[in-house]
Amino acid sequence: MNIASSLAIVALAALIHASFQLSVSVLTLLGGHVIGAKHSQAKVLRLTTSFVFGAGVMTLLLLSFVSLVLLHAFDGNAPQIVWAIGCGLLLGIGVAVWMFYYRRTKGTSLWIPRPIASYLHERTKATTRSAEAFSLGLTSVIGELIFIIAPITISALVLIQLPPLWQLAGIAIYSIISLLSLMIVWVLIGSGHKLSRIQEWRESNKNFMQFAAGSGLIILSFYVYVVEVLGSAVGGV
Amino acid sequence: MGLAIDIVKRNGQRPSENFSQEKLHASILAACLSVRTPVGQAESIAHAVSDSVISWLETKPEVTSQDVRRIAAKHLRTHHPDAAYIYEQHRLTI
Digit-coded pLDDT (tens) for B35-61: 999 999 999 999 999 999 999 998 888
Residue A116 vs residue B2, higher pLDDT = A116
Please indicate whether, in this complex, the C-beta atoms of A35 and B29 are within 8 angstroms of each other. no
Chain A's closest residue to B42, CA to CA, is: A36
Which amino acid, B71? I
Q: pTM value?
A: 0.93
Q: What ipTM does this complex have? A: 0.87
- Distance, CA of A35 to CA of B33 (rounded, Å): 6
Q: Are A46 and A71 in contact (CB under 8 A)?
A: no
Between A37, A120, A192, which is nearest B36 by CB? A192
Q: Distances in Å between the alpha carbon of A45 and those of A49, A50, A192?
A: 6, 8, 10
Query: What's the CA gap between A112 and A30, in Å, rounded?
Result: 19
How far apart, in whole angstroms, are the C-alpha atoms of residue A199 and residue A207? 14
Angstrom distances, CA of residue B92 to CA of A24, A41, A90, A218, B85: 13, 25, 28, 28, 11
Which carries the bigger pLDDT value, residue B17 or residue A170? A170
Scanning every residue of chain B, which has its alpha carbon at the shortest distance from the alpha carbon of A203?
B93
As a whole number, mean pLDDT of residues B71-77 equals 97
| CA distance, residue B17 to nearest chain A CA (Å) | 19
B13 touches chain A (CB under 8 A): no
CB A200 within 8 A of CB A54: no
Query: Chain A closest CA to B64's CA: distance in Å?
Result: 19
**A24 and B CB contact within 8 Å:** no
Whether residue A235 lies within 8 A of chain B, CB to CB, comes out as no
- Chunk chain A into consecutive blocks of 10 residues (it has 237) and report each block's average pLDDT, rounded to whole numbers: 93 97 96 94 96 98 98 92 96 96 93 92 95 98 96 97 96 98 97 94 96 97 94 67
Number of cross-chain residue pairs from A and B with Cβ atoms under 8 Å apart: 66
Tell me if chain A has a CB within 8 Å of the CB of B48. no
Residue A181 CA to chain centroid, in angstroms?
9
Q: Where are the domains of chain A?
A: 3-231
Amino acid in the structure at residue A147: F
Check residue A87 and give its pLDDT.
Answer: 97
Distance from CA of A164 to the nearest CA of B (A): 38
